[in-house]
Amino acid sequence: MLRIMPVGDSMTIGSSGELTWRHRMWRHLCATYGGPVTLVGPRETLYDKAADAPTSHAYADPDFPRHHLAGWGEGWLHMAPLIGDAVRDCRADILLVSLGLIDLGFYTNAEQTAGNVRAFVEQARAANPRIGMVLLPVIPNIRAATDAPFGTQVARFNELLAKTTADLNAPPSPLLLASVPETWDIDTDTYDGTHPNANGEHRLAGAFAEALHQGWGLGGAYGG
């Protein structure tokens, strides 16, 4: 059984009524991996905007493994101290990680955020020395498009993330850098300039799927 843990912020946890890219990714791997696969993690809820809390179980499709380590308003800073126990307790084989927007927006600059990436990787490997990780850069968003200093920090962090991934990539715990979906459009791929709509969910799932397929030969090309 291949055990995959999605790790992320609001774009990964999703909110009430959504399918989430986690669901799209699971469906893709079920069709292409060629063996049993599941999603794992210490959490399973969606974010409830009305309650302003991660308390919803109202998935558009409740019949999939909903487990994850994602939180609305959480970043590398928040996940680095949690990832070791999560990997150990959930026996994760692969982490699919989409973080950084929250860090850069509210907590840390690009260099500090890259330091937290290293801490995250260190803790994950301490829990499972053979863990594989796929890291997604910060994708285009409305704040980066309208706030020039923030956009500069995003670009700088993405450069540092690529360097960090290359520096830390080593067997038996490989790291991959996923590619930002080509021509990501905040008008057609999100519902508010940041969070993915159905089209964006497919494109995020596709970014991780292509990294797994091209980098490690897992699954197939993403077909949506």
Residue with tokens 């923030």: 150
Give me the CATH number covering residue 205. Answer: 3.40.50.1110
The reported pLDDT for the residue numbered 22 is: 98
Which domain does 67 fall in, by range? 2-216
Instruction: Kindly report whether the global pTM for this prediction surpasses the value 0.95.
Output: yes
The answer, yes or no, to whether the previous bond of 172 is cis (omega within 30 of 0) is: yes
In a domain, residue 118? The reply is yes
In a domain, residue 223? The reply is no
Q: Share the mean pLDDT of the chain.
A: 97
Phi and psi torsions of 54, nearest 5°:
-80, 70
* pLDDT tens profile 185-223: 999 999 999 999 999 999 999 999 999 999 999 999 998
Confidence tier at 96 by pLDDT (50, 70, 90): very high
Provide, rounded to the nearest whole percent, the portion of the chain with pLDDT above 70: 100
* pLDDT tens profile 44-75: 999 999 999 999 999 999 889 999 999 999 99
The reported pLDDT for the residue numbered 224 is: 78
**Mean pLDDT score, 94-113:** 98
Sign of CA pseudo-dihedral 182, 183, 188, 194: positive
Confidence tier at 184 by pLDDT (50, 70, 90): very high
Over 90: is that where the pLDDT of 111 sits? yes
In a domain, residue 221? The reply is no
The reported pLDDT for the residue numbered 99 is: 98
In the chain, how many domains are there? 1
Provide, rounded to the nearest whole percent, the portion of the chain with pLDDT above 90: 97
* pLDDT tens profile 118-146: 999 999 999 999 999 999 999 999 999 99
